[in-house]
Amino acid sequence: MESRVEKYLSSRAVAAPWAIAGPPGRDFCGAVIIPSLAESTLLFSTLRSLAKNPEELLSRFLVLVVVNHRADASSPEKADNRETLKRLSAGGPDLGTLSIAWVDAASPGLELPAKGGGVGLARKIGFDLALDRLNYSRGSSLLISLDADTLTRPDYLPAIIAHFQEAQTPGAVIPFCHQPGSNREEDRAIRRYELFLRAYVLGLERAVSPYAFHTIGSAMACTAEGYARMGGMNQRGAGEDFYFLQQLAKTGGVSQVKGTVVYPSARTSHRVPFGTGRSMTGLLSRKESAVLFYRVECFQILADWLSLVGERLGWGGEKIQETALNISSYLYDFLINNKFESVWDKLRRNFPDSRILLKGFHDWFDGLKTMKLIHHLSAAQYPRQNPEEVVPGLLRWAGLDAVEGIDSQLELLRRVQIGEEY
């Protein structure tokens, strides 16, 4: 086992009472981690889709399902998880040659804590326990994050393996495309929400932000060493994927897998305070304000700001901050409130090398601070609007055809960001 992973397991890995049940193998080259909360129906569709990957690769990957709920979960959720554990124990021929194991984080005495026991902890349990089942003598061992409601293609594992054989980054995001909704209203809502996600990442790409990637929990992966280096999965009840990928970006980088696509569900949910499920619930309640889009002016200000810093690494913090006033007074206010001048001058003292200085800046002005700036600009001067008012201008700024209509805009951005048939 690599020393960095050993150190992580001894100092930061999740503690008992959780353990892996199922196959005893310890020679896997990777693991697919699937948290499952009341997913007895959809989980097995996901597993069947995984089982269509090449048998030779399936034998080398552990598929680890973390069946979980908090101690204060509802009775239906607890009953559903009992059914999942029963079905996993029974196995079945329809799951092919999957090496399936599971973690019981749902039975009495094993439930997640009512406080702090969300999807982040469930993912962390799976990732941490999987580390001890991997073989570290044959190149990079992989940890792949999937959700119980997300379908994969037969090229899923081959594409991820091929990516990490060439990639210079320890982190990766996997192209995604939401499944169609179960009815017209649901389909309309999920397409609007996915367009929102893609428009935001397009804006970051055009602004040349190093955080221009999607943060979807069912569509990310990393090397085991990269996982240990960045400190492991956080325990947040929501947004764990965002913070996980942000930290991977800071500690080694994130790049996009090519050659496969995953298909998350288009469901509503109240489990977390934001994200796909909550946004879908708002849209289906005919609250279009649940998903309003950021205006192109916000991303243009971001682009000018990042360009200013990158081109003026020799300047002091006060001069950069005063020059930012020429870009936007609201940007200037944001920098004042976030103490940019003192932060920058400290970075310059600590990192005289310009390349390392720029890296230090982006570690400070990270994905979260970027989002906070966009929110600040939206609240102060450029209020969020419906996609019909926003997306054509964003497309033009990105050098793309300014097509009209949510469906056409989504199809365009899927082609651009996925880069293949989806």
Residue 290 φ then ψ, to 5°: -65, -25
What does the pLDDT read at residue 1?
66
Which parts of 328-402 fold into alpha helices (H)? 329-337, 340-350, 354-364, 367-380, 387-397
What does the pLDDT read at residue 202?
99
Q: Tell how far CA 11 is from the center of its chain.
A: 25
Residue 81 φ then ψ, to 5°: -65, -35
Q: What is d(CA 289, CA 43) in angstroms, rounded to the nearest whole number?
A: 32
pTM for this predicted structure:
0.94
Residue 62 φ then ψ, to 5°: -80, 130
The three-state secondary structure class of 170 is: coil
Which are the contacts of 368, defined by CB distance < 8 A and separation ≥ 6?
242, 243, 246
CATH class of the structural domain 3-176+214-270: alpha beta
- Residue 321 structure tokens: 């901050």
What does the pLDDT read at residue 189?
94
Q: What is d(CA 99, CA 222) in angstroms, rounded to the nearest whole number?
A: 20
What does the pLDDT read at residue 288?
66
What does the pLDDT read at residue 272?
45
The three-state secondary structure class of 254 is: strand
DSSP secondary structure string, 260-317? --BB-------SSSSSHHHHHHHHHTT-GGGGPBPPHHHHHHHHHHHHHHHH-TTS-H
Q: What is d(CA 239, CA 367) in angstroms, rounded to the nearest whole number?
A: 12
Q: Are strands 99-105 and 61-68 parallel, antiparallel or unpaired?
A: parallel
What does the pLDDT read at residue 291?
92
- Residue 340 structure tokens: 């940019």
| Cis peptide bond N-terminal to 180, omega within 30 | no
Buried b (16+ CB within 10 A) or exposed e, 260-277: bbbbbbbbbeeebeebbb
Residue 217 φ then ψ, to 5°: -60, -25
The three-state secondary structure class of 4 is: helix
Read off the DSSP letter of residue 112: B
Helix axes 296-311, 317-327, angle to 10 degrees: 150
Question: What are the residue ranges spanned by the domains of the chain?
Answer: 3-176+214-270, 181-211+287-410
Q: What is d(CA 336, CA 315) in angstroms, rounded to the nearest whole number?
A: 17
What does the pLDDT read at residue 401?
97
Give me the tens of pLDDT residue by residue for the chain, a chain 422 residues long. 678 999 999 999 998 899 999 876 889 999 999 999 999 999 999 999 999 999 999 999 999 999 999 999 999 999 999 999 999 998 876 788 899 999 999 999 999 999 989 999 999 999 999 999 999 988 889 999 999 999 999 999 999 999 999 999 999 999 999 999 999 999 999 999 999 999 999 999 999 999 999 999 999 999 999 999 999 999 999 999 999 999 999 999 999 999 999 999 997 655 444 455 555 565 555 566 789 999 999 999 999 999 999 999 999 999 999 999 999 999 999 999 999 999 999 999 999 999 999 999 999 999 999 999 999 999 999 999 999 999 999 999 999 999 999 999 999 999 999 987 77
What does the pLDDT read at residue 281?
60
DSSP secondary structure string, 121-156? HHHHHHHHHHHTTB--SSS--EEEE--TT-B--TTH
What does the pLDDT read at residue 286?
58
